[in-house]
Amino acid sequence: MTPKHFREFPSGQYTVRVEKNRWRPQTRQITVRDLQETKIDVELEPLVGSLRIISNPSPATVYLQGERIGTTPLLRQGEDNGISVGRYISR
């Protein structure tokens, strides 16, 4: 969990990976040196997109991956309400 502070970490080269569900993971190569503090700042990008569905006739119930997500017209966007990036198949 971030933020994270390690004390008395051995000097050397390390690979650091920061990840969070629905966010693009970031990987960094860092060098830890004797008697120096190494600080890295990582900004993750959201892995969500917007989804807009309009139907005729309206309203119609919308399901995504078998889960009811609303009725038309439907707009899902933003980090909390957006749809995870990926490929979906309509039936």
Confidence of residue 65 (pLDDT cuts 50, 70, 90): confident
d(CA 33, CA 30): 10
pLDDT tens string 6-64:
888 899 999 999 998 888 999 999 999 998 999 999 999 888 888 899 999 999 999 98
Query: Contacts by 22-30 with C-beta closer than 8 Å and gap 24+?
Result: 22/46, 22/47, 22/48, 22/79, 22/84, 23/47
Question: For the chain, which residues make up each domain, given as ranges?
Answer: 12-45, 47-84
Instruction: Inform me whether the pLDDT recorded for 5 exceeds 70.
Output: yes
